Chain A
Amino acid sequence: MHASGQFFSGERSRQTPATLSLDAGEWRVRTEAGEQCFAAKRTEVSSRLAQLPRRLTFEDGSQFVTLDNDAVDHMLGEGGARRVSNLVVWLESNWLWAILALALTVGAVYFAFTTGLPYLARPVAASMPQVYLEQVDETVMSWLDDRIVEPTELSDAEQSRVADILERIEGSGNFELRFRKGIGANAMALPGGTIVVTDELVELAGNDNEILAVLAHEAGHVNGHHGMRNILQSAGVAAIMAWLVGDLSMVIDVALVSAPVTLQQLSYTRNFEREADAYAREVLQTQGASPACFAEILKKIEASHGARSSALPRYLLTHPSTEERAALSAGAEPCS
């Protein structure tokens, strides 16, 4: 058995026609000038890839290159140095496997995004050091204060009324209540436990139970570590996409990686909202208030921002629709 190909001395770019055979643990390269032997143990044989020429690099840097992949594989088999990498070659050369790999890849990525990452992010987020989380809150707050919100104008009495309501929620020792103004009726929870309530929201609320509903929703975000879970899961999506298709040098690269990241992140936040909503209804019930209080304040907030409907489809929104959220407490007693 032998393979014909070309021999390069490794010193010059000129090639010589040659034949190759394997004999007693030695590769023999025969050219017009004669025969050279190289120890098979110290020879690097490139792994087979499609129909690419096969390259044997000998210990002195000279090379033998041949298109006869089968002959090289056959000789390697005879010489007892069979290579397992032929499994990969076999997978790559078969359309059936390619289609199967495609289906499995899409399935695996979908599973990782929807189930795997959320499952892993939960314990990691719960064990993040509090010092770091509080620093994150500080950064976000200073960013908000710089550009978005204004200092509160609520009186001390009003502030402590809201603080007292927050006291009624489990885990209130972890919350840090702040008041700000200037973005309309709104409230938000940061990863480290900071809960921001706007003046406009306090003024909008008809009674304490509506404020309790809002605070309980935000407490749901804090207790569920939603902020950090969201950060971790989104980072995970980006990392997976970049790791799998990252070796691109194309303009579309950016779009391809960032679009799924954004869409997936929005789906995560919508789920967190639903979780926080459920938590709010639960708190209202244990505190003897009607879950309808949550629906009530939601509708008021929506109305206060001006009645307009969005042109965006549902999967582009950060929150579930107000109708969906309010419907979950339909049939409960009216809020008082």
Chain B
Amino acid sequence: MDTDSTTLAQPGSVAAAPPVPMRFVGSGGEYFRIWIVNILLTIVTLGIYSAWATVRNRRYLYGNTDLDGHVFDFHGKPTTILKGRLIALVVLLAIYFGEFLHIMISLLVPLALILAFPWILVMTLRFRLSNTSHRGLRFGFDATVGQAYRRLLPVLLLGTMVIAYMLLGLDWLIPMVVGDDTEQQLTVFFSGYLIAMVVALLIVPMFAHRVRDLMVNGCRYGQHRFRADLRLSKFWGVFGMTLLSGLVAGILAGIAVTALVFSTIDPSELEALPADSQSELVQSDPGTADSGFQQSPAPAEELSPEHARLLTQVFLMYLLVIPLYMFPFAVWRCGVLNYSYSATRIEDVRPTLKLNPWRYWGIMVTNGVVVLATIGLAIPWAKVRMMRYQLSCMSVAGELDQFIAGARRYTGATGEELGNVFDFELGF
């Protein structure tokens, strides 16, 4: 959406070759076979083969990404990935069992993960890029962990404070400030909560701008640095569109839910609901640790028609509401990626990305439905479909055979595996 200025400038400045489109040349069926055979081999080897499986999966996806008649190549060593994966597993286990030791640990872990983000970001990009090649030349990532912290830490600390307030404010901070009056405590806490939410929203575009800036300007191909002069105002523009589409999605979701609820549920059933959810809280929240004596709501042996209808409605609500809320996400994602890619230069080579938020959203939603309906078996198909679309929106202009090799650096995979474990969405 924010690509107009950069794409308009193109024809004049590069006189030579027209832009070359990128393509995905693999097939979903072929990828499915590779995927499932490698999962089975992972099971047979009690998990060890998973690193080799990852390499084969990635090699297939990279190796079918075609730019100007040449495909990309992934060179990661399975043993490096296995090592990183084992370390990530140990960290995860320590966190999982540590969380039961003290109530504070479960609150501190998310904060610690937020503070680890710059390190994970840099390590992931270093591993990914230094193991990627095109036309026999390697990519690389030169930004250091120190640089990442200098750029990102102030924003991260602000974010951490906001989240800490949301999690701990009512228990620790507010009683100290306000005293014992419960009603006053709640009032102060919720006004603070509103401010915290606004602050959280405001730092999103700032944070995204700094992360993208770090990501793009740290990359290199051969010895040639990627350069992009990313402007914060563009991120604000994308963010504004995101908020607007979020608002529209929210209103639509509200209308849909209201229509569903009032079309069929009679009021007596609504009254019964809060009581049910209350007893659920007692049952399930101490969660894994307790074994309650009695399940409060008595289960029905057979579903009565009303219950079946209620279930259908809940299901329909999810089917409607979740896709609606994915739309602002698609707007944000497409806006940020389109701008960051299209603003990038590698010498006089210039990529252009034109993702359409509507199409992106459509693929995201249908992929999600199909993958869930097939309990995950459609993952390869969904991945290939999304990749094919994304690549079809990307083109590259300029002379691609002018580049010279640069220094090679090697790095471990621990950072990337940790990032995978905690589901950091880096989005290349």
Choose among A13, A136, A317 the residue that contacts B403 (Cβ–Cβ < 8 A): A13
CB distance from A230 to the nearest CB of B (A): 6
User: Which of A51-80 touch B at CB < 8 Å?
Assistant: 52-53, 55, 61-63, 65
Contact in complex: B290, A243 (CB < 8 Å):
no
Give chain B's interface secondary structure class.
helix
Q: Is B230 an interface residue (CB 8 A)?
A: no
Task: For B92, give the chain A residue with the smallest CB separation.
Answer: A239
Q: Check: A214 CB closer than 8 A to any chain B CB.
A: yes
CB of A50 within 8 A of CB of B34, answer yes
Closest-CB distance, A305 to chain B (whole angstroms): 5
Is the beta-carbon distance between B33 and A12 smaller than 8 angstroms?
no
Q: Are B283 and A101 in contact (CB under 8 A)?
A: no
A295 → B minimal CB distance (Å): 13
Asked if B40 contacts A101 (CB within 8 A), the reply is yes
Number of residue pairs A-B, CB distance < 8 angstroms:
269
Q: Check: A102 CB closer than 8 A to any chain B CB.
A: yes
A86 to B281, CA, bound (A): 54
Q: How far is the CB of B357 from chain A (nearest CB, A)?
A: 15
| A98 in complex: contacting residue of B33, B285, B368, CB < 8 Å | B33
Q: Is the CB of A312 within 8 A of B297?
A: yes
- Once A105-B36, A323-B301 are accepted as A-B contacts, the answer to whether A311 and B307 lie under 8 Å apart by CB is yes
A214 to B281 alpha-carbon distance, docked (Å): 21
CA distance A201 to B298 in the complex (A): 17
CA distance A214 to B103 in the complex (A): 28
Contact of B282 among A183, A255, A276, A322 (CB under 8 A): A183
Q: Which residue of A has the minimal Cβ distance to B297?
A: A310
B residues within 8 A CB of A11? 404-405
Produce 1/0 per residue, A231-258, CB < 8 A to B: 1001100010011111111111111100
Whether, in the assembled complex, B294 has its beta carbon less than 8 Å from a beta carbon of chain A, the answer is yes
Pair B100/A135 contact, Cβ less than 8 Å: yes
Q: Are A190 and B289 closer than 8 Å at their CB atoms?
A: yes
* Least CB distance, A54 to chain B, in whole angstroms: 10
Q: Which stretch from B59-67, B146-154, B231-239, B247-255 is at the chain A interface? A: B59-67
Q: Which of B134-142, B192-200, B204-212 contacts A (4 or more CB under 8 A)?
A: B134-142
Report how far A305 CA is from B73 CA in the complex, Å. Answer: 63
Within 8 A of A (CB), among B265-279: 272, 275-276, 279
Q: Which of A21-29, A141-149, A158-166 touches B?
A: A141-149
Answer yes or no: A49 CB below 8 A from chain B CBs: yes
Contacts of A52 in B (CB 8 A): 59-60, 63-64, 71
B367: Cβ under 8 A from any A Cβ? yes
Q: Does B377 touch A at the CB level, under 8 Å?
A: yes
User: Which of B113-121, B335-343, B420-428 lies at the binding interface?
Assistant: B420-428
Cβ–Cβ contact A247 & B54, under 8 A: yes
Closest A residue to B53 by beta carbon equals A247
A140 part of interface (Cβ distance < 8 Å): yes
**Given that A13-B222, A49-B56, A88-B41 are contacting pairs, would A136 and B135 also be in contact in the complex, using a CB cutoff of 8 Å?**
no
Kindly specify which of B10-18, B42-50, B182-190 makes contact with the partner chain.
Answer: B42-50
Among B51-88, those with CB < 8 Å from A are 54, 56-60, 63-64, 70-71, 73
B382 at the interface (CB under 8 A from A): yes
Closest residue of chain B to A52 (Cβ to Cβ) is B63
Chain A contacts for B358, CB-based, 8 A: none
A9 at the interface (CB under 8 A from B): yes
A169 contacts the other chain (Cβ, under 8 Å)?
no
Q: Which of B291, B301, B427 contacts A227 (CB 8 A)?
A: B291
Q: Cα distance A152–B227 when bound, in Å?
A: 67
Q: Does B402 contact A (CB under 8 A)?
A: yes
Is B37 within 8 A of A88, CB to CB?
Answer: yes
Whose C-beta in chain B lies nearest to the C-beta of A217? B293
Instruction: Give Cα distance in the complex from A307 to B297, angstroms.
Output: 8
10 closest cross-chain pairs (CB), A and B: A8-B136, A319-B295, A310-B297, A52-B63, A187-B293, A13-B403, A101-B40, A14-B401, A98-B33, A311-B307
Chain A to chain B contacts (Cβ below 8 Å), 17 pairs: A50-B26, A52-B71, A53-B63, A88-B41, A101-B37, A105-B36, A105-B40, A146-B103, A191-B289, A214-B293, A230-B288, A239-B89, A247-B57, A249-B427, A252-B372, A256-B372, A309-B300
Which B residues contact A (CB, under 8 angstroms)? 26, 30, 32-34, 36-43, 47, 50, 54, 56-60, 63-64, 70-71, 73, 89, 93, 96-97, 100-103, 134-137, 171, 222, 272, 275-276, 279, 281-286, 288-301, 303-304, 306-307, 310-311, 326, 329, 364, 367-368, 371-372, 375-377, 379, 382-383, 400-405, 420-421, 423, 425-427
